[in-house]
Amino acid sequence: MKTAIQIIIALVALCYVGGLQITLNPFSIKLNDWRPMVAWFFISIAITLFQSQGRLQGYKKGCKDGASGMVEEIKKEFHLIPKDDENTTP
């Protein structure tokens, strides 16, 4: 539902930027200046792709860091890695 509302808002904004005119008698639809509308459309797509790529890289890095940290904690808990504070003989 949220996505549908965002799409409708984006379409209305693009029609406003393009100077859309609708007349009822006789019925006609005119798009006076379509170039700014196309430009804003491509800019919004570029920004969306840039943000999604950054978010995806962050999720991947977070999962890898979390997994490696958890493996280290499990190894310490089950004494698979010697602790630094144990008595060592010189």
Confidence of residue 21 (pLDDT cuts 50, 70, 90): confident
Q: For residue 52, is it within any domain?
A: yes
CA 74 to chain centre: 33
User: What confidence score (pLDDT) does residue 58 get?
Assistant: 84
Q: For the chain, how many structural domains are there in total? A: 1
- Domain membership of residue 68 as a residue range: 2-77
Does the global pTM surpass 0.95?
Answer: no
CA distance 5 to 76: 50
Q: For residue 45, is it within any domain?
A: yes
Q: Which residues of 5-41 are buried (b: 16+ CB within 10 A; e: fewer)?
A: eeeeeeeeebeebbebeeeeeeeeeeeeeeeebeeee
Q: For residue 83, is it within any domain?
A: no
* pLDDT(86) > 60: no
Q: What average pLDDT is seen over the chain?
A: 81
Q: For residue 47, is it within any domain?
A: yes
Q: For residue 43, is it within any domain?
A: yes
- Residue pLDDT, tens place only, 43-70: 888 888 888 888 888 888 888 888 888 8
As a whole-number percent, the residues of the chain with pLDDT over 70 amount to: 87
